[in-house]
Amino acid sequence: MTTTTPALLREWRHAFHRQPETAFEEHRTSARIVEILEDAGIDKVTGLGGGTGVVAWVDGRHGGERAIGLRADIDALDVREANDVAHASTTPGKMHACGHDGHTTMLLGAARTLAQAPDFAGRVYFIFQPAEENEGGGRVMVEEGLFERFPMEAVYGVHNWPGMAVGEAAVHDTAVMAAFDVFRVTLTGHGCHAAMPYLGKDVVLAACQLVNQLQGIVSRETPAHQTAVMSVTQFHAGDAYNVMPETVELCGTVRCFDPELRDHLETRFRQAIAAMATFHGLEADIDYQSRYPATFNTPAHAARCAEVLEALPDIHRVHRNLPPSMASEDFAFMLQQRPGAYIWLGNGEDSAALHNPHYDFNDALAPIGVAYWTALARTLLDECERDKR
């Protein structure tokens, strides 16, 4: 087995980037993960998480019964890439715009490194999870019995972070990422000629008023010490200049951290739509879905992650308790079942934002991620065995 060099990590990452696959369709990606694991003689189980997930493991040479899990997401996004690079996406309309190609590469590098030098006690599970983007692959793996089939005491995750320098990291004691709900609202009225609006029931006027009114739920009903975002991101209505449309559709997202506030926002959302529909004489159909819970670290585990990061030679700064992100992460489903921590590693101060068509994972980060994963596994499992003794 060859040494896991930065050049090899770059080769893997670029190959994943060229062939992006979205939620539950990551068949080529999964097959390539399996090839790399098999080349290193690493045991694995395939076909998980709806069919494309993989869990592998390496046992330490010092025995031990303890186990931890390290997780990487493997899916891409429905984004058309705007980068002019040799490894650009070859699949129109899809790209790795969130760095999951890099996350997969780092975890593969850690698996190979630990397999080559298993100088630890216990077992490390490597979780390659599909469908993180919107579709809840983490939830699916948990529901399929991830932690029953592969018993582990704790689970850990990593995400690259644009705007933060390579060589920097961020660790939160508790809240890291927000809960994530989505909505689709259809208002139905009565269409008519645009020159005679009094003959119809105007869904566009009602929808415009509704977009403004919904913002008040956050700005006037959410306590100042709590954080919430309600965003209308789609507005679909009409096909002609001189026709008042029959229906309008609004779509968007709601995000916060507190479960009680989350319930309150949904209740008030539904009430606001019902009241607006009644006032304008419209029918309202609401599809409101709770997607991901908020991502919360376990404080003690976050502290150990920070200590491991601070000891790495390529990490020169560890930020503690930056403001949490209002973006969401389905690793939250795993952290609801097991203690652990989810950390950020800097992707570069000049990196394009996540989900941007100009985004690209920084290859300089991959060796740092491998070093973090391997140091974390060795440190935690050796500590577990010492505590046990």
Q: Is the pLDDT of residue 302 over 90?
A: yes
pLDDT at 385: 52
Q: Which two tokens stand for residue 313?
A: 């030679």
Q: Which of 73, 81, 132, 330 is catalytic?
A: 132
* Residue 50, phi-psi category: left (phi > 0), alpha (psi -120 to 50), beta (remainder): left
Cross-strand bridge partners of residue 72: 128
Round to whole Å and give the CA distance between 210 and 75. 35
Mean pLDDT of 299-312: 98
pTM: 0.93
Q: Is the pLDDT of residue 388 over 80?
A: no
Q: Is position 132 annotated as part of the catalytic site?
A: yes
How much of the chain exceeds pLDDT 90, in percent? 95
Cross-strand bridge partners of residue 236: 249
Mean pLDDT of 147-158: 98
Mean pLDDT of 320-339: 97
Q: Where are the beta strands (DSSP E) in the chain?
A: 43-48, 53-59, 67-73, 123-129, 154-161, 168-171, 175-177, 179-188, 192-193, 228-237, 243-244, 247-256, 283-292, 295-296, 317-320, 340-346
Q: Is position 75 annotated as part of the catalytic site?
A: yes
pLDDT at 63: 87
Question: Lowest mean pLDDT: which of 64-68, 151-155, 242-246?
Answer: 64-68
Q: Which two tokens stand for residue 194?
A: 């645009």
Round to whole Å and give the CA distance between 389 and 382. 11
Separation of CA 59 from chain center: 28
Determine the residue type at 51: G
Q: Which of 26, 73, 75, 101 is catalytic?
A: 75
Q: Is the pLDDT of residue 1 over 70?
A: no
